[in-house]
Amino acid sequence: MSIQNVMATADIAARRRASVMAALVVLVVLLVLLSLGVGPVRLSPSAVIDALFGGGSDVQQVIVQQIRLPRTILGLAIGAMLGLSGAAMQGLLRNPLASPELFGAPQSAAFGAVLVIAFGLADVRSYALPVMAIAAAFASVFALLAIAGRNAGLLILILAGLAISSLAGAATALVMNLSSNPFVVLEIAFWLLGSLEDRSFRHVMLAMPFIAAGAVILFSQRHAFRALSLGEETAQSLGVDVGRLRLMVISGVALGVGGAVAVSGSIGFIGLVAPHLMRPLIGHDPARLLVPSALTGSALLLAADIAVRLIPSTSDIKVGVLTSIIGVPFFLYLIMRERRALSGGVA
């Protein structure tokens, strides 16, 4: 057998991954066009493209460029960030049940943001909101990894995550409880459900720098996740600085999730689901899963955000509610599938 033979099958796998990626990109582009076209005024994809590049009527241009584009950009970016963080957390912890939302990161970020809103510490549209959300998300992921220790089993991770998200939820409830202004409480309650409605370019500017920074940090660590497939000690022996890697992942997830939550509220389960949808198509290599998971996350959130606009109901369904209603049964299915690992891997 020669090098050519050994590499030939690797090439076949690489070609399959490339076609999956191309299909994902096409899907995301279609969903973007659809997302720009759906609303009180329905626009066909060709009308959307026209309006986007300065054609069509003035009204159509305003609807697409001013009203819907920020929402679509946020859906695209936040979905991608959630998918990417899920894949990165699963890579770091070498565990298919890992994801930021199960570990309380968005809940903690929401608590940080709620503090700002409830006590009127700053304008809701100021950078104080994402900064507080990021700080709280960082603290929660850091606490989780510190509690769980180095080679934590599933059970410890999930229990610690449950405790942290419960604590963040309770702290948020306490803030609402203590708030004297009922309108602020109502506003917080709706915001916590997670939504992309009525977002402007101001929101895009608020979230994007943090999401971009988080994504760059996580993506830069991709090859270390692959080495980590062999366990922390072997990865270290191959030259991976595991302590630094952990810190980078915590920072990347906190920046991205904190930035996202600050403008959208908490949108759950996309980070958990996206990598799972990709493994059968892309394989299990944690480095190769990052970008496809990000694209899948975008597709999922855009699709969910289109769905909430199409589902007929008397009041608006929040996109965060929809993703959780679909995501939780999926999580239960994963638990069932991983039952053996869960009962055997108690550590």
In terms of CB distance, is 39 or 283 closer to another protein? 283
237 near another protein (CB under 8 A):
yes
**Is residue 233 within the footprint of another protein (CB under 8 A)?**
yes
Please report the DSSP string for 26-93 in residue order.
HHHHHHHHHHHH-SSS---HHHHHHHHTT-S-HHHHIIIIIIIHHHHHHHHHHHHHHHHHHHHHHHHH
Of 179 and 229, CB closest to another protein: 229
Using CB under 8 A as the binding rule, whether residue 345 contacts another protein is answered as no
What is the DSSP-derived secondary structure letter of residue 101?
G
**Smallest distance from another protein to CB 247, Å:** 15
CA–CA distance, 125 with 300 (Å, rounded to integer): 26
By CB under 8 A, tell whether 65 contacts another protein. Answer: no
Among 50, 169, 212, 226, binds another protein (CB under 8 A): 226
Q: Give the nearest distance from C-beta 226 to another protein in angstroms.
A: 7
Q: How far is the CB of 52 from another protein (least distance, A)?
A: 36
Verify binding: residue 19, another protein, rule CB under 8 A: no
Whether 32 and 76 have beta carbons less than 8 Å apart is answered as: yes
Q: What are phi and psi of 168, to 5 degrees?
A: -65, -40
Q: Count the site residues for another protein by CB under 8 A.
A: 31
Tell me the closest approach of the beta carbon of residue 233 to another protein, in angstroms. Answer: 6
Q: Quick one: which of 234, 343, 346, 347 contacts another protein (CB under 8 A)?
A: 234
How far out from the chain centre does Cα 182 lie?
30
CB 179 within 8 A of CB 185: yes
* Segment contacting another protein by CB under 8 A, of 197-205, 222-230, 264-272, 316-324: 222-230
Closest CB to another protein among 2 and 315?
2
Report, in Å, the least distance between residue 17 CB and another protein. Answer: 9
Answer yes or no: are the C-beta atoms of 72 and 35 closer than 8 Å. Answer: yes
Query: Exactly one of 54, 182, 239, 312 binds another protein (CB under 8 A); which one?
Result: 239
Judged by beta carbon, residue 19 or residue 57, the one nearer another protein is 19
Among 7, 23, 205, 328, which residue sits at the site for another protein (rule: CB under 8 A)? 7
Q: Is 231 an interacting residue with respect to another protein (CB under 8 A)?
A: yes
- Judged by phi (left if over 0) then psi (alpha if -120 to 50, else beta), residue 283 lies in left
Contact region for another protein (CB under 8 A) — 228-236, 254-262, 305-313, 328-336? 228-236
Cβ atoms of 154 and 339 within 8 Å: the answer is: no
Buried b / exposed e across 221-258, counting CB within 10 Å, b at 16+?
A: bbebbbbbeeebeebbeeebebeebbebbbbbbbbbbb
- Interaction of residue 223 with another protein, rule CB under 8 A: yes
Sorted by sequence, the CB contacts under 8 Å of residue 282 that are 6+ apart come out as 17, 20, 288, 289, 292
User: How far, CA to CA in Å, does 30 sit from each of 83, 298, 303?
Assistant: 19, 12, 10
Q: Which is nearer to another protein, 22 or 205 (CB)?
A: 22
By CB under 8 A, the residues from 272 to 311 that bind another protein are: 283-287
Q: Are 270 and 98 in contact (CB under 8 A)?
A: no
Site for another protein in 78-97 (CB under 8 A): 94-95
Q: Among the candidate windows 30-38, 123-131, 182-190, 239-247, which touches another protein by CB under 8 A?
A: 239-247
Please state, in angstroms and rounded to a whole number, the distance separating the CA atoms of residues 222 and 231: 15
Using the rule CB under 8 A, is 150 a contact of another protein?
no
Residue 159 within binding range of another protein, rule CB under 8 A: no
Binding site for another protein (CB under 8 A): 1-3, 6-7, 9-10, 13-14, 94-95, 223, 226-231, 233-234, 236-241, 283-287
